[in-house]
Structure 1
């Protein structure tokens, strides 16, 4: 994702890779460097920043390629800065192997990026940076939607995940800080929010409170001016039936349930250290699906060490039967320092990829079925602007859906149209639409209200 902003003096080009949590940190860096004019042109920028991802091999490769590409493009005397998860995780190796980079920093100095750029020096603070309501951000990509980060770090011990090794233990923001930030964003015109973290359902558990996310929902419901919100990244062992009920009863939060399951058989959940029995997991998933207009999203890992063909087949059957609205599958990637990396039951890469492909085909089918169910329905959408597909189509998103990941709806007709007032549809606003058909993976709809 690439960004732009304004200032007559020096220019800045920033590339944010990886997850939306990284995006929030990138927006904080843009806020600290607000005296720079932000440019889409890397060749003429005075400062270039890559906020890297270090989660899995493909993300690491993308980060390295982006760094080297920007170095090739940049002008003389420009400053190349590399920040984020990859540099935090491999700080010594990267500083040694990529001398082209002028400044290295990790995940603890986003709010000091202006100092580091001015002094042209690298720094790695031991503590992970935790956003607060005092951090001024430059919200990117939307005039009405913003991500809000609940916490940093994670207390889970998943066998395949290296995040706690460089992000540390769970550190939740205070409820007061979050409410203050949301109110500030609402005062600037933002009406739609996605709350994110490594493990959102554990919010405030590090402060001894097991219902932190429920408290947040209740407080956000009191804020005037918010139209919609959703929570991303629930964790099985810290999600309760009560939390699901609180989301469903909220006047603000959509019935959007995003819980990465990774697997479903008892043996694999134990190997993966996922901490929830299959019976309890099924109870949670069924409770989510039972809510009105619920939308359930998840992710799976194919080919984790110890996964048998029977485990794989059971997972395929579960995905096909549950019929998730959206899902993703990742081929297992061995990450240094994780429990899975030490396993003596590693699976051949060809088998891993084959299993991922099989799961991907099932997911494609269930996603298509989810979209087909929308034909003929009436619901609310945000209209984002003109579509990339055609100048006469508008791009919209169902209010339930998360931006950029759950799909796009094309508006191809407007029953409110008045030839004396042809520009009635305002971008960033909510309209009621009726879905008329499905073309490929895109719903087509008519504005009716």
Structure 2
């Protein structure tokens, strides 16, 4: 058998971690693997799909169909599909895509290795071949979600929350650090829930503390917390450990009490305000990233206006908005009519993002003249591109440093003075 494989990853960073684990297994078995190549050249193509919302599902299907056409033209020999879309729609994909040689779900992808006549290496289960720049990695601490939000299909795909053992995570962090990784993006469907299943108590704060103590880790950043039952000890860890970034990604989705109830978020408007006020009090300068949903069934103009005013009042450092997607088998799909027109959903999302652009510009203007620790991710044309502790890769603002001002190394941290700012980018010079 020829041993050249292309792996294409769609969707979130949690999918990326699975792809990296799979790539490691193939390389250990003598395969040559390319990830997200602009011109795939493998004999086998593996598509790791996303099935979260409508746009993501369409992208996954389109990618599969494109590779199916490549197979018909004889450009690839085999086509495999794995991930969230196939976990959610396994039978439908099997019936409608006969060109696909084999379909795997989100959790049985290890079978791809054995189905190709190779050995799955259990001793490498905590090892990955990173597809990110060498100095940072995504660090998945759990799978699944126990929440019952009305709109969300994630629990249908991933099942119940399953925390990874703390010892296993510490071992992985040490291996990553020894390989040169200096920044960990801690991810999960729900960070807040960590430990409740294995240890009968929330242990996110303890885990973050132990990961921060790993030699060689300069930054630990937290993604995807949940507002209900938030583990406040995490804020104490942020203050006590300089390498735990003053950054938190916490999806709030809405603020009006009627919508929070319909969405089954298990928090109130008052709860949300208390949570945000405490975060900003306990961790001065914390940068909060959140996401909101416009056009959920039942959302009135009054509900939307309340959310719009909330955004203007709270002035989130980072914010994204998703128009509601009516997903099969969710509580909202079974219970409510999708009664907000698509154009209204999008218009409301656009209104919020226009306001957020101004907020982001004003927050960035306040950074001009200040000095920040910045890691360099890459060199791009006339600039080195870096990030502060307040910026996660690919989704947050970047720091642009002219290449003619200094000679910098990717993966290295520098003190940078901010000289100018736009809504979503900063410009700076390295402090000599």
TM-score over 0.5 for the alignment?
yes
8 Å contact kept, 1:81–1:103: yes
8 Å contact kept, 2:396–2:424: no
8 Å contact kept, 1:103–1:116: no
Counterparts of residues 151-162 of structure 1 (less than 5 Å): 151-162=142-153
Evaluate the alpha carbon distance shift between residue 439 and residue 218 of structure 1 in structure 2; reply closer, same or farther with a 3 A threshold: closer
8 Å contact kept, 1:413–1:447: no
Consecutive unaligned residues of structure 2, counting only runs of 5 or more, are none
If the length of structure 2 is used for normalisation, what is the TM-score? 0.93
**What SS does the aligned partner of 1:141 have?**
coil
1:36 aligned onto 2:26: no
Distance 1:307 1:359 in 2: 15
Match of 1:441 in 2: 424
Q: Which residue of 353, 375, 382 maps to 2:375?
A: 382
Once the two structures are overlaid, the 10-residue window that deviates more, 8-17 or 355-364, is 8-17
Aligned-residue offset at 1:437: 0.8
Cα deviation, 1:370-429, whole Å, max 9, x if unaligned, reads 222221111011112212xx2x311111133111111221101676x5xxxxx4x22101
Match of 1:110 in 2: 109
Q: Which residue of 12, 16, 26 maps to 1:19?
A: 12
Match of 1:124 in 2: none
Aligned-residue offset at 1:287: 2.0
Aligned-residue offset at 1:33: 1.1
Q: Which residue of 226, 232, 235 maps to 2:226?
A: 235
8 Å contact kept, 2:374–2:388: yes
Once the two structures are overlaid, the 10-residue window that deviates more, 10-19 or 68-77, is 68-77
Counterparts of residues 111-260 of structure 1 (less than 5 Å): 111-118=110-117, 134-260=125-251
**What SS does the aligned partner of 1:394 have?**
strand
Match of 1:128 in 2: none
Counterparts of residues 40-439 of structure 1 (less than 5 Å): 40=37, 42-74=39-71, 75-76=74-75, 78-118=77-117, 134-290=125-281, 291-345=283-337, 346-387=339-380, 390=381, 392-412=382-402, 417=406, 423=407, 425-439=408-422
Q: Which consecutive aligned stretches of 4+ in structure 1 deviate over 6 angstroms post-superposition? A: none
8 Å contact kept, 1:11–1:47: yes
Distance 2:305 2:346 in 1: 14
Evaluate the alpha carbon distance shift between residue 41 and residue 268 of structure 1 in structure 2; reply closer, same or farther with a 3 A threshold: closer
Once the two structures are overlaid, the 10-residue window that deviates more, 167-176 or 285-294, is 285-294
8 Å contact kept, 1:316–1:359: yes
**What SS does the aligned partner of 1:426 have?**
coil
Consecutive unaligned residues of structure 1, counting only runs of 5 or more, are 1-7, 120-130, 418-422
Once the two structures are overlaid, the 10-residue window that deviates more, 208-217 or 182-191, is 208-217
Evaluate the alpha carbon distance shift between residue 412 and residue 439 of structure 1 in structure 2; reply closer, same or farther with a 3 A threshold: farther
Distance 2:41 2:165 in 1: 41
8 Å contact kept, 2:42–2:76: no
Evaluate the alpha carbon distance shift between residue 99 and residue 431 of structure 1 in structure 2; reply closer, same or farther with a 3 A threshold: same
**What SS does the aligned partner of 2:152 have?**
coil
**What SS does the aligned partner of 1:236 have?**
coil
Cα deviation, 1:310-367, whole Å, max 9, x if unaligned, reads 1100000000111111111000000111111123452222222221221221222222
Distance 1:315 1:133 in 2: 46
Distance 1:38 1:150 in 2: 25
**What SS does the aligned partner of 2:224 have?**
coil
Distance 1:233 1:44 in 2: 35
Number of residue equivalences? 421
Aligned-residue offset at 1:112: 3.0
